[in-house]
Structure 1
Amino acid sequence: IKNIEKHIKPAVLGLSALEQEALDNLLIEMDGTLNKSRLGANAILGVSMAVARAAAQSEGNPLYAHIGGDEAVTLPVPMLNIINGGAHAAGSTDFQEFMVVPAGFDTFREALRSGVEIYHALADILQARGLSTSVGDEGGFAPPLDDNRDAVALVIEAIERAGYSPGEQCFIALDVAASELDKDEYPSDKLIGIYEDWVGNYPIVSIEDGIAEDEWGDWQALSSAIGGSVQLVGDDLFTTNTELIRKGISMNAGNAVLIKLNQIGTVTETLDAVRMTQEASWGVVISHRSGETEDTTIADLAVGTNAGQIKSGAPARGERTAKYNRLLRIEEELGDRARFAGRQVYQNVLGGS
């Protein structure tokens, strides 16, 4: 806050909020570091986001329409993290996130409703087995499980318990967070073998950070092995950085990018990363962070860029549900113009990979 008041405010006061790129470039230039460490990434991002909201308000438009204009009508498929493991939940699975992906519906409202019902069905299953229903950082349950495969089986059971069809209405996504795994226990070739087996036997549509961030060659091997049948998302690999995204595209390392506003630090750089990813016909997943607030910008960003996918945790805890509630309101505002990305978003990614 001190940097905003002392350094940023005098520099931007009186400038037009409609000049987002110029303002963001000014902030980057003022900071002068590669990682925005002088002024602070959160200070710069806070101002950048405020500029975008001010511009939208001055136009009389919601933020998503300011970002994407008349074409901003696509509601994203929610990727709901209902089982937490890894660094997000001590004592649970090695893999970090097991998500339910309700892509087989006609509207966002229907998709979210199914996700909520599956979440509560999972709670009932865990309680019936005497397992903990405490939640991890992102609102998902963190039961003590012997094997990662047990978590996948639980998600499928919860989908069925809620009355939905795995592989037709609801699918599964993983965030392995492979950089956090013991490389002796989980070498890349072993992980690739696990994924090949799972993708062949379970309705998995997306795997995030399936290989450690510094293993570019192994990412290529993963893409060659299963990139034609499942979305392979880079988070730690790309860090919303256009230079790294460009490298990944040229090397065919993955076929989708996780986009985090505060990973790169300005609205302009975030939109550049989305644009580059979409131009390569790769998938885009707009994402929250493990530590979150009730700010809903990423919901508008997902619609404004027609990203097609959003990660905002489980349908629990206010900082997670705020984004989902915002998307419900956007769908209502759009009315008959609203479209739900649905299963097509994954078909598009696989067709382009």
Structure 2
Amino acid sequence: MKIAIDVASSGFYKDGGYDLDFKKPKSDPAKFITGKELADIYLGYVKKYPIISIEDPFDQDDWGAWGRFTAQGAIQIVGDDLTVANPVRIKTAIEKKPDGWGVMVSHRSGETGTTFIADLVVALGTGQIKTGAPARSETVAKYNAVTPSEALAGTGAYYAGDKWLSAGRQATALQKK
């Protein structure tokens, strides 16, 4: 078993720092930590647990923290909030981190039970599908559809799985083909 985490750190980024006590209505700004300190916490977890991917480890506008953490190359870093399918943000992210990019197909909140994205993942060979925990029927249906999609697609099509994981600025195995 491997662990992937969606930190959603933009939700606790305040006044240029990260408020780990953000649920408290009047948290103490003197206790906010820097992006570097937050990265050190993540790296400690990565050493201790089988974490292979962290999504949104920093605020979408904390470009320095993103760059420093990604350069360490320990695991896959996912920039969902960082890019949010926004062409301007994607361009900026590419300029600041020009290599090692991959693609993850993701459903959105309130997704239907259709399994189209499972077919899309196999057809495009993206290797990663993000549908959330297998706790509801619409997510389970998508996970269950990956293998049949692979079989129906025919020769050469397959679910790439961890072959599509990047690590920092290191290109994925599929990108090296």
**Same fold, judged at TM 0.5 (above):** yes
Q: Partners in 2 of 1:348 and 1:198 — Cα distance?
A: 16
| Cα distance, 1:233 vs structure 2 | 0.6
Q: Partners in 1 of 2:78 and 2:166 — Cα distance?
A: 15
Q: Which digits, 9 at most, give the CA deviation of each residue in 1:72-99, with x for residues without a partner?
A: xxxxxxxxxxxxxxxxxxxxxxxxxxxx
Q: How does 1:261-300 map to 2 (within 5 A)?
A: 280-300=99-119
Which residue in 2 is equivalent to 1:178? 9
Q: Which digits, 9 at most, give the CA deviation of each residue in 1:155-181, with x for residues without a partner?
A: xxxxxxxxxxxxxxx311110000112
Which residue in 2 is equivalent to 1:200? 47
| Cα distance, 1:281 vs structure 2 | 4.1
Q: Which moved more, 1:291-300 or 1:209-218?
A: 291-300
* TM-score, normalising length: structure 1: 0.40
SS at match of 1:352: coil
SS at match of 1:290: coil
Which residue in 1 is equivalent to 2:57? 210
> CA, structure 1 residues 193+281, in 2 after alignment: closer, same or farther (shift >3 Å)?
closer
| Cα distance, 1:206 vs structure 2 | 0.7
SS at match of 1:192: helix
Which residue in 2 is equivalent to 1:251? 96
* TM-score, normalising length: structure 2: 0.76
> CA, structure 1 residues 217+281, in 2 after alignment: closer, same or farther (shift >3 Å)?
closer
Which residue in 2 is equivalent to 1:154? none
Contact kept? 1:314, 1:320, Cα under 8 Å: yes
Q: Percent identity?
A: 43
Q: Root-mean-square deviation (CA), in Å?
A: 2.4
| Cα distance, 1:232 vs structure 2 | 0.8
> CA, structure 1 residues 349+285, in 2 after alignment: closer, same or farther (shift >3 Å)?
farther
Q: Partners in 2 of 1:348 and 1:192 — Cα distance?
A: 15
> CA, structure 1 residues 304+338, in 2 after alignment: closer, same or farther (shift >3 Å)?
closer
Q: Partners in 1 of 2:127 and 2:161 — Cα distance?
A: 8
**Unpaired runs of 5+ in structure 1?**
1-169, 256-279
| Cα distance, 1:282 vs structure 2 | 0.9
Q: Partners in 1 of 2:40 and 2:167 — Cα distance?
A: 25
The structure with more radius of gyration: 1
**Unpaired runs of 5+ in structure 2?**
21-31, 173-177
Q: How does 1:1-353 map to 2 (within 5 A)?
A: 170-181=1-12, 183-185=18-20, 187=33, 188-224=35-71, 226=72, 228-252=73-97, 280-334=99-153, 337-346=156-165, 351-352=170-171
Q: What amino acid maps onto 2:8 in structure 1?
A: A
| Cα distance, 1:246 vs structure 2 | 1.8
> CA, structure 1 residues 236+298, in 2 after alignment: closer, same or farther (shift >3 Å)?
same
Q: How many positions carry a matched residue from both structures? A: 156
| Cα distance, 1:234 vs structure 2 | 0.4
